Amino acid sequence: MEDSTLKRFGVSMEGHLLRKFDHLVQQKGYENRSEAVRDLVRDALIQQSWEEEEQIVAGSILLFYNHHQRNLLDELTKVQHDMHDFILATTHFHLDHASCLELIVVKGKAKDIQQLSNKLTSLKGVGYGKFTVAPVEQV
């Protein structure tokens, strides 16, 4: 039986992060923080569910990084070569003297693609990584 009653809990975060979150809440038109948190939790749960599936998915891995970080480019290349069967295309952009954005288009079993994303986004020097995925319908 599903429990649909609202439960209250507390969340602690740094002041600067809360101010940014409040700005996001206002910008996206949420009536309150709770609505925004619920959406974030739903999104995280959907993303998590793909990890446990054998389903074929397609998506993208977005990476922002400092290309001056020692050994980072070699590590990024090694991970991508080790898992090349899942990579359809990559695009690399130079944002400024030190910052790069890389977009990697991927396809494969959800758990494999999530593993690739985790390996790339956890490398030292990657400032931000985002994995976006959608199921691929079987023909």
Annotated binding site for Ni(2+): 81, 92, 94, 100
Q: Alpha-carbon distance 65 to 53, whole Å?
A: 29
Angle at 67 between CA 62 and CA 69, to 5 degrees: 110
Contact status, residue 94 vs residue 43, Cβ threshold 8 Å: no
Nearest alpha-carbon partner for 16 in 4, 8, 24:
24
The total number of residues written for the chain in this structure: 139
Q: Alpha-carbon distance 112 to 138, whole Å?
A: 18
**Amino acid present at 81:** H
Q: Binding site membership: which residues?
A: 81, 92, 94, 100
Q: For the CA atoms of 78, 53, 7, 36, what is the dihedral angle to 10 degrees?
A: 50
